[in-house]
Structure 1
Amino acid sequence: MNNKITGAIKHLIIINVIIFVAPQLLKLDFTNVLALHFPENKHFGIWQYVTHMFMHGSFSHILFNMYGLWAFGTPLEQMWGKNKFIFFYFSAGLGAGLIYTLANYYQFNGIYDQLINFGLSASDIQNILNAGSYNDPRIAISNEEMIKFYNLYHTPAVGASGAVYGVLVAFGIYFKDAKLALIFFPVPIAAKYFIPVMILGDLFFGMTKYSIGNIAHFAHVGGALIGFIIAWYWKKNQFKFS
């Protein structure tokens, strides 16, 4: 297999680049329409499970995602064909968005239930979420938890990372002895070891307070999980999709 860019990947990269560049040139912000919002947020739309995969927050964000899509997706599309690869890519991306939402719901509802137990009403809580501040002596949880509560409700997810993680896992299943390395850890490691460590890292950061930056770790884990299930099934059963 060669590294020549394949059809589906070429078109996915073009669409991602257009959606990243066009709003900047037109001085428009499509975040409230296209990014994936918390379902209770007024900006949420079911289509965002697809559209968020084509939005990125920075140049480095889109650069790394598109590089990963090209580097790990190319041999998969060459092996599977265009239709099968597209099905896989969007399945991983949709799965990432759904699992990310479920994880956020779990964390959000945990704090929400505590506030209800403190005696706050649903309208009291909504006022806090709308205002972004509170001065209620009944709230006996840390300010850090309240900030997390606010961010879960208001911060949308963007990026193809979940789908790309699915692609990365599939690459590891089919090319387990390929050597991979990180920029900040430039030591080649076989994919069968490298990829599980990356996913475990996301799971750790997603479940603890040690996350660095605004990263949707559970979207990564979700994309990786769906990617693993599909790729493992296809490899085991030699699934055909012309």
Structure 2
Amino acid sequence: MLSITPTVRNLLILNVLFYLVDTSIINLSGNFALRSLLSPEFMPYQFVTYMFLHGSLGHLFSNMFGLFMFGPLLERMWGPKKFLFFYFFTGIGAGLLFSGIDYFENNQIRQAVEIFTQNPTPDALADFMSKHAKGIYESMLNFLNKFEENPTNTTYIQDSINFVNIYYERLVSIPMVGASGAIFGILMAFGLLFPNTELFLLFVPFPIKAKYFVAFYGLYELYSGFKNAQSDNVAHFAHIGGMLFAYILLRYWGTQRTNFY
């Protein structure tokens, strides 16, 4: 069995240490998680720092397991410096793609909030909910019914305005954390460089070639990202971003003879 490589080992240690500090000593996520570009708490350095923070022990374990399983082979092939560059390139790229899509989606909601505030009617609130807040539509039905029965009631009007504003502020305040973007980049690289390597996965009773596993996983993340399930709490477009930036970098390296891998 091959020993773990130095860069992978250091990344594992850093991620575990940051998790322990964040959960036991001082809240690092408040300042170092990746915030929405529309949030007043956004800072450019968060494109790097978010990769070393995780939301739960299970989140940390799944990412570090992927790094442990697939990272050492890539580091042995590329060397420590090139592997570390790849890790940050894909991780930052994942954050950029996620932030771009997040900005587009939340900016649409911000515009919808402004439109509703100018004309706060029951029908307008129902339209806002059906388009932008489907996950909590049912929980608001009681309020919607009362608002429809009393459309000129100033209390209901103000409450509806407060609701859409609070809903928007909550969305732009949700931070993103985790090394998943970089890990999916590593997974993509493994699939491209070792496409016919057979993987034995939990809950799959037969071996699957790396190229098929990566292709399936990428399509699944793409589907989940566009489906935009609000309840799964997973940054699917960050995963897609890690894979996309890994593909771009590998294609670029493939054209550079001095960087042949």
Task: Give the shorter-chain TM-score range.
Answer: 0.7 to 0.9
Change (3 A) 1:181 1:112: farther
Identical-residue share of aligned pairs (%) = 38
Q: Which residue of 2 aligns with 1:127?
A: none
> What SS class does the counterpart of residue 208 from structure 2 fall into?
strand
Select which of 44, 54, 65 maps to 2:52: 54
Q: Which residue of 1 aligns with 2:40?
A: 42
Q: Which residue of 1 aligns with 2:14?
A: 15
**CA distance in 2 between partners of 1:154 and 1:230 (Å):** 31
**CA distance in 2 between partners of 1:72 and 1:231 (Å):** 16
Change (3 A) 1:95 1:56: same
Letter in 2 for 1:154: S
Letter in 2 for 1:7: P
Q: Which residue of 1 aligns with 2:221?
A: 202
* Bigger Rg over Cα: 2
**CA distance in 1 between partners of 2:245 and 2:258 (Å):** 16
Deviation of 1:237 after TM superposition, in Å, equals 3.4
**CA distance in 2 between partners of 1:185 and 1:154 (Å):** 38
Change (3 A) 1:108 1:24: closer
Change (3 A) 1:151 1:224: farther
Q: Which residue of 2 aligns with 1:5?
A: 4
Q: Which residue of 1 aligns with 2:196?
A: 177
Q: Which residue of 2 aligns with 1:142?
A: 129
Q: Which stretch has the larger CA shift, 189-198 or 2-11?
A: 2-11
> What SS class does the counterpart of residue 259 from structure 2 fall into?
coil
Instruction: Specify every segment of 5 or more residues in structure 2 that has no aligned partner in the other structure, as ranges.
Output: 137-166
Letter in 1 for 2:2: N
Select which of 184, 192, 201 maps to 2:211: 192
Deviation of 1:54 after TM superposition, in Å, equals 0.2
Change (3 A) 1:94 1:14: same
Higher helix share: 2
Q: Deviations over 1:3-43 (max 9, x none)?
A: 311111111111000000123332x2121111001022122
Instruction: Show the 5 A alignment for 1:1-242.
Output: 3-26=2-25, 28-118=26-116, 120=118, 137=122, 138-139=124-125, 140-142=127-129, 145-146=132-133, 149-210=168-229, 213-240=232-259
* Mapped contact 1:173–1:232 kept (Cα < 8 A): no
Letter in 1 for 2:193: Y
Letter in 1 for 2:76: Q
**CA distance in 1 between partners of 2:244 and 2:58 (Å):** 25
**CA distance in 2 between partners of 1:21 and 1:198 (Å):** 30
Deviation of 1:231 after TM superposition, in Å, equals 1.6
> What SS class does the counterpart of residue 206 from structure 2 fall into?
strand
**CA distance in 2 between partners of 1:120 and 1:188 (Å):** 58
* Mapped contact 1:104–1:152 kept (Cα < 8 A): no
If the length of structure 1 is used for normalisation, what is the TM-score?
0.85
> What SS class does the counterpart of residue 101 from structure 1 fall into?
helix
If the length of structure 2 is used for normalisation, what is the TM-score?
0.79
Q: Deviations over 1:179-226 (max 9, x none)?
A: 224433343210111101101111111111446621000000001000
Letter in 2 for 1:24: T
What is the number of residues matched between the two proteins? 226
> What SS class does the counterpart of residue 234 from structure 2 fall into?
coil
**CA distance in 2 between partners of 1:180 and 1:71 (Å):** 11
